[in-house]
Structure 1
Amino acid sequence: MKLAARVKQVTPSLTLAIDAKAKAMKRDGIDVCSFSAGEPDFDTPDHIKLAAVNALKSGKTRYGPAVGEPILRAAIAHKLQTDNQLGYSAENIIVTNGGKHSLYNLMMALIEAGDEVIIPAPFWVSYPEMVKLAEGTPVIVQTTAESGYKITPDQLRQAITPKTRLFILNSPSNPTGMVYTPEEVRAIAEVVVEKNILVVSDEIYEKLLYDGAQHLSIGAVSSEVFDRTIISSGFAKAYSMTGWRVGYLAAPLEILKAVSMIQGHSTSNVCTFAQYGAIAALEGPQDCVEQMRLAFAERRQVIFDLVNTIPGLTCLKPDGAFYIFINISKLGMSSLEFCDGLLSEQQVAAIPGVAFGADDHIRLSYATDMTTIDRGIDRLSTYVKSRF
């Protein structure tokens, strides 16, 4: 059977594959310590679930506008105005089937053959694959631990060519957990304006910050950069709504209309009653977000301290999200070889850094319970010591 050429250019998601393998092992009764999934281990807060139940009971089960429920679009615009100082109105918002869908639609609307998209590495696994599906060219810019795994203004400036269409900024970062400081964001914004390129800011982890780290949305820096900014976000991480599949894109009207047309001919509206849960998430009590953030902060400290006692491993302390990115270069193994052995020998699931453009690293998610962290890192230590 002949398949479209675009499919052959795309790499399957290692994160989903390893998470699925770990879950299958658990179903078979194997004691697996999984650090693979980028998914909070908390249940969705009750007031959000209740809002969806009430929406079901009141008949919110019909087709809705392809761009999203008007009440939710207005609530998202209000959130962006008050939390992020971004002057979007409801007409600048489209509700999507998760944050990933918002980015995919954007690539389909903006990118075509010959266009370049600048992506700092380490990167979230789907960024370059989405660019390839849109027939664009991912331009990967390597960062280092010395820079906190963050692209510098000079690196960005040097990567820009006449073919550059878009720059992807992700802060807090998946997979590194690092956060661009307000000063770093302002410096990046200067280059965006100077070179007149577009920037999409993936802010899905913005509520998960530690040790006084501050999130500044790049579009809030100036009116000039705001005009060139697209925001991608959603409800999965901060509100533990991963399975609800509700995300959003905020963009200038011309881009928003193009994305809306694509969505209208592909998925149409997001699940109607799920959108009412998202409204409750934004307009309801926010203490649930803080409770989860504090739990993640405690786990972050524990896993960071434990990993740094293991000879041969090094890592930076993450500023946000719920990942820790570990350098394994001293072991002389590829990240895939390392993770395969770790899962088969010690029943610990981790994600190889090659999936993120950093083959000398692995990613652990600490969106899991403290018992799993203690047991899993002990097994990791045993595995590393057998090879170091």
Structure 2
Amino acid sequence: MRVARFHAPGDLRLEDADEPVPRPGEVKIRVRQCSTCGTDVKIFNHGHHHLVPPRVIGHEIAGEIVEVGSDVPGGWSAGDRVQVIAAVPCGTCPDCVRGRMTVCPNQTSMGYHYDGGFAEYLVVPPAVLRVDGLNRIPDGVGFAEASVAEPLACVVNGQELAGVATDDDVVVVGAGPIGCLHVRLARARGARRVFLVELNRSRLDMSAAVVEPDAAVCGSEVDAIDEVRKLTDGRGADVVITAAASGAAQREALRMAARSGRISFFGGLPKDRPRISLDSNLVHYRELTILGANGSSPAHNKRALELIAAGWVPVHDLITHRLRLTEFHDAIELVASGQAIKVTIEP
């Protein structure tokens, strides 16, 4: 079979590999779609401290079961259509027991600790099955759409933590695929208005044409803080979500927020620039809440599939490019350039 295997920064090879054989407690699937994301670009360029090469990468995985090893719970059988979680909590630590699986200190990940989805076949490890992390794809949901359930699951976690609710004005900073999913989920959760802010005009226009925010603000052409205040009659937004790896976006989010507003630092910052300075008096006097958001739990993945299946969060039109595994390097370039919203790979 063919795989995309990471060897070192800048060294990602399409290689031949033996088909995996499921051991006890494992399930073998034929990968039908594995979507790409900005993290794959980061891995390609810089590697990752959790990833020991050589490793088949790819963590937004949907496919079809072809073989079930012995001692596998759940009643799985060949032919079942499935989606695989990316972040794998241990399920037994104090945080997991308390329902905080997204911050499990023992978390492992598909495409990092286990071979991932940029391959024709993979085995789902026992750690995934132990936490109910293999999900049946609902009828009517295609493999490509199901692969987008993983990033949507992260968005579900972020908006649950931020408490996005009916009648909120929501600002999403960043018009990439995650920003688009945030716009759509905020609408599904009953937000009154959703505004999309982005520095890159062409990226903003492309994404806004698809998800149709109530207003699209190009931060390189106008003062985004002033625009948000104008749009909200000077009040500011109830929720500001920074769906971009930008310290400036995080700083400015505080000034976009209304009194008692919630700010979600959804996008992590580069490891070499993780610090920002902020006006803590804004937090104090305006009673702002700043929240982090880290990945998703198995339960979030199930909710994401349900949202897609019910049509509450459409994702099919966010998939702008569908490529084959042999075109993997083209996919990386598309994601890095910002010319695509979502790129999926069909091995």
Per the normalisation by structure 2, the TM-score is: 0.37
Instruction: Pick the structure with more helix per residue.
Output: 1
Which gives a bigger RCO, structure 1 or 2 (Cα 8 Å, sep 6+)?
Answer: 1
Instruction: Pick the structure with more strand per residue.
Output: 2
